[in-house]
Amino acid sequence: MGRWLRVLRLLISKEFAVELRGKEYTTLLFCTTLVIGALIGAGVSSAVLDAATTTKIYPMLVWVVFLITTTTSSARASETELDGRGFEGLLLAGVTGAQLYLSKVAVTTVMFFITWVLLLAVTSAALDQTLSPVYGTLLALGAGAALTLSALVVLVSGVAGTSTLRGVLMPLLTLPLIFPLFFAGVEITTECLLYGALTEGSIWPGVITVLCAAFLLVGVNSYEAVVKG
Amino acid sequence: MNSKTPTIWHSLATVVAFLLVACAQYYVFMVVPNEQVMGAVQRVFYFHVASALACYAAVGVVFVASLTYLATRKDGADLLSVAAGEVGFVLCTVVLATGMIWGHSAWNTWFRWEEPRLVTFLVLWLIFLSFTVLRNFGDPAKTAVHGSVLGILGAITVPIVYVSIKFLPQSARLHPEVIERGGLKDPSYWQAFGLSVVALLALSAVLVWVRYWLGSIEYRLRIGCDEGERVV
Amino acid sequence: MTVDTYPDLFWAYTAVWAILAIYIASLGARLKRIERSIGSCGASHRDVAGCCDSKR
């Protein structure tokens, strides 16, 4: 078990090093977030909505931007390894599919979480929303959502990465599967903004937990098959 | 792979399935009385619910066949998963279309986002759509594995979607709960409903069979081509 | 509750289902024919490749 965890830690370090060296994925993710966030701000402003209506639609806008930017930007998440046969080399070296999958999920979760923080900052400024009283809850929500989303995205990027449609296929495969996350995210954000805190006994954190567990379970068990074919 | 699919059994199954459909139709249009509130439009219920049950069955087949393929790598399981996925997609389209026709008559709107079952079927339809797109545009060498993983993910997500929509605050339970609330009082209602379910399940099975058969022929041609290219 | 019958709808739908039934039955016959032709040209790899080309 100790060796297994050591290999996993090494893989996570490798993933971070590769990402920090190339910065392709990070650039794509953050720039897309900024551009779409700005577009949403301009769109809401041109609709001349009152403050109450803007607060009502804000959670939906944030989640639409978050899910679209993360899924479209992740089309190339596994491309380097898939093109350069990097996965096969690692698997031949004795690394398991579960370790590979979890290391990628860890790095992607961190990137998605930073995207979430960036998105909250950009959209709250653009749409004049005060998030400071509920920032802790929203950050916890972002962490859970980032983990759930990356558990799915890493698995699906292995599927979409070698298809003939590549980038187009990624959101098409991912978005229908994250409807429960979308519902849960919008509801929790709305509860936070309207009531100042998450309602006691709310079902939505449970929905995210179940979805996350399901995606992780499928990912850990099938990622090796996905990359090997 | 079965190389000699008996035509006689296929023809017989097709005839039986369509006779069942004809009988169900006879009941729906000629025997059951008009429902008091909805009138004639309520008759769409028989094919709507039967298609929905057949669609759920197709999801179940996709799930089991995908798991079997990943565990055993038997091509038959993959072909069955493809066949059930495509038939499920058609059935899901029928459920959505008939649901919207009924909804327009009952609620004066084609679609209601507060309605758990309608939204569940929309999400299911999107999942079937992505499944079909992946099967057609995926990496040919890995489509079977990738399709199986997506099939499992889709089948797991559907119940979570259903449960989560039920907890949405504005959910007003607009969908009629005919069976749960002990509706269908006239015996002919039950006979028509039972017959419709059996007919649609039989028809779906025949369609899955034909698609599986077609897939097995394509598979044999592909294998033949691969070997031929290697020799030539 | 009124008992109304809809013979026109019944026959219209029957016609649609009958067309679908005939199509599926003919599809079965065509698949059987293709299966036979694969069997007959499967003796040589070159021929099998030819079958694939014509199918494409």
- Collect all residues of chain C within an 8 Å Cβ-Cβ radius of residue B220: 38
What one-character-per-residue DSSP string does A94-148 give? Answer: T--HHHHHHHHHHHHHHHHHHHHHHHHHHHHHHTT---GGGHHHHHHHHHHHHHH
**Chain B contact for C20, CB < 8 A?**
yes
Report, as an integer, the average pLDDT of A100-105: 92
d(CA A15, CA A158) in angstroms, rounded, equals 15
CB contact under 8 A, A177 and B133: no
The rounded mean pLDDT for chain A is 87
| Interchain touch C–A (≥3 Cβ pairs closer than 8 Å) | no
Segment A36-86, tens digit of pLDDT:
888 888 888 888 788 888 888 999 999 999 999 998 888 766 666 666 667
Q: How confident is the model at residue B176 (pLDDT cuts 50, 70, 90)?
A: low
Report, as an integer, the average pLDDT of B32-36: 78
Q: Residue A181 class from Cβ within 10 Å (0-12 exposed, 13-18 middle, 19+ buried)?
A: buried
The percentage of residues in chain B with a pLDDT greater than 70, rounded to a whole number, is 86
d(CA C41, CA C56) in angstroms, rounded, equals 16
- For residues B18 and C55, which has the higher predicted lDDT (pLDDT)? B18
CB contact under 8 A, B227 and C28: no
Q: How confident is the model at residue B142 (pLDDT cuts 50, 70, 90)?
A: confident
Which chains touch A (3+ CB pairs under 8 A)? Answer: B
Report, as an integer, the average pLDDT of A8-27: 84
pLDDT of amino acid C3:
61
- For residues A142 and C37, which has the higher predicted lDDT (pLDDT)? A142
pLDDT of amino acid C53:
41
Q: Which of A59, A52, A51, A68 is nearest to A189 (CA)?
A: A59
Residue-by-residue pLDDT tens, chain C, 56 positions: 556 788 898 999 999 999 999 999 888 888 888 888 887 655 443 443 444 443 33
Shortest distance between the Cα of A52 and any Cα of chain B, in A, equals 19
d(CA B220, CA B213) in angstroms, rounded, equals 11
Q: What is the dihedral of CA C12, C15, C17, C22, to 10 degrees?
A: -170
User: Best interface-test mutation with C: which of B29, B98, B222 has the largest number of C CBs within 10 A?
Assistant: B29
CB contact under 8 A, C24 and B207: yes
pLDDT of amino acid A180:
92
pLDDT of amino acid C52:
43
CB contact under 8 A, B231 and C52: no
CB contact under 8 A, B227 and C13: no
Shortest distance between the Cα of B205 and any Cα of chain C, in A, equals 12
- Collect all residues of chain C within an 8 Å Cβ-Cβ radius of residue B43: 6
Shortest distance between the Cα of B115 and any Cα of chain C, in A, equals 28
ipTM over 0.90: no
Comparing alpha-carbon positions, the chain C residue that sits nearest to B186 is C1
- For residues B184 and B120, which has the higher predicted lDDT (pLDDT)? B120
Report, as an integer, the average pLDDT of A148-169: 85
The rounded mean pLDDT for chain B is 84
Shortest distance between the Cα of C46 and any Cα of chain B, in A, equals 6
d(CA B112, CA A134) in angstroms, rounded, equals 31
CB B161 within 8 A of CB B119: yes
Q: What is the dihedral of CA A13, A15, A17, A23, to 10 degrees?
A: -150
Measured at the CA of B44, the angle between CA B39 and CA B46, to 5 degrees, comes to 110
CB contact under 8 A, C48 and B225: yes
CB contact under 8 A, C17 and B22: yes
Measured over the CA atoms of residue A92, residue A98, residue A104 and residue A106, the dihedral's sign is negative
Shortest distance between the Cα of B165 and any Cα of chain C, in A, equals 34
**Size of the A and B interface in Cβ pairs below 8 Å:** 92
CB contact under 8 A, B224 and C2: no
pLDDT of amino acid A185:
94
Residue in A159, A177, A180 nearest the CB of B134: A159
> What is each CA distance from A90 to A7, A86, A87, in whole angstroms?
11, 6, 5
CB contact under 8 A, C31 and B225: no
Report, as an integer, the average pLDDT of A12-17: 86
CB contact under 8 A, A214 and B141: no
pLDDT of amino acid C45:
39
Comparing alpha-carbon positions, the chain A residue that sits nearest to B127 is A176
| Interchain touch B–C (≥3 Cβ pairs closer than 8 Å) | yes
Phi, psi (5° rounding) for residue B137?
-120, 5
Segment B66-112, tens digit of pLDDT:
999 999 999 999 999 999 999 999 999 999 999 888 888 888 888 88
CB contact under 8 A, B126 and A155: no
d(CA A2, CA B57) in angstroms, rounded, equals 44
Segment B153-170, tens digit of pLDDT:
999 998 888 888 777 765
Q: How confident is the model at residue B24 (pLDDT cuts 50, 70, 90)?
A: very high
Give SS3 for B140. coil
pLDDT of amino acid A118:
92
pLDDT of amino acid B174:
58
pTM over 0.80: yes
